[in-house]
Structure 1
Amino acid sequence: MWSKGKKRSKLGRFLDKEGYSQTELSEITKINKNTISKICNDSNYVPSGTTIKKIMKALRKLDSRLKPDDFFDL
């Protein structure tokens, strides 16, 4: 878990809440760990459409009701 005071994006907070690591998401989506880290820690960063699709495909295995708008300001 992250210590209090660290800035996290919506995706980062979701992963923390659900108990998943950035490394696990990186392995499942085949997205570089640095990119996943930037997405989880920088709420101003907007990933490419392809990256969002890969992340959403993985997250929908946890909950099919999740939408990109839940995590990204599109």
Structure 2
Amino acid sequence: MFGKERSRFGEFIDWHGIKQEKIKEISKVSREIISRVCKNRDYMPAGKTMKALVAAVRKLTGKQVKSDDFWM
């Protein structure tokens, strides 16, 4: 989409104009993990991390996304 490899999570936040830094502030997940989650389609974050990221995205977009929307 933006000329770089992105995961479904990365594509979603790009589409909605959400900065990784904003997700970091809300989720309290490290910048390194957020970067990995956004770039690597095969990376599966820990359950607690996944929950925090989904909660942050929900708060920022108002959309009722689920972890299944990004990770299988």
| TM-score under structure 1 length normalisation | 0.86
Q: Percent of counterpart pairs with the same letter? A: 37
Could you say what secondary structure the match of 1:60 adopts?
Answer: helix
Where in structure 2 are there 5+ consecutive unaligned residues?
none
Q: C-alpha root-mean-square deviation of aligned residues, in Å?
A: 1.4
- Structure having the higher helix fraction is 2
Aligned length: 71
The one-character-per-residue Cα deviations of 1:18-71 (angstroms, maximum 9, x if unpaired) are 001111111110110000000000010000000011011112222342111111
Q: 2:13 corresponds to which residue? A: 15
Where in structure 1 are there 5+ consecutive unaligned residues?
none
State which structure, 1 or 2, has the greater radius of gyration over its C-alpha atoms: 1
Which contiguous aligned blocks of 4+ residues in structure 1 show a shift greater than 3 angstroms? Answer: none
| TM-score under structure 2 length normalisation | 0.88
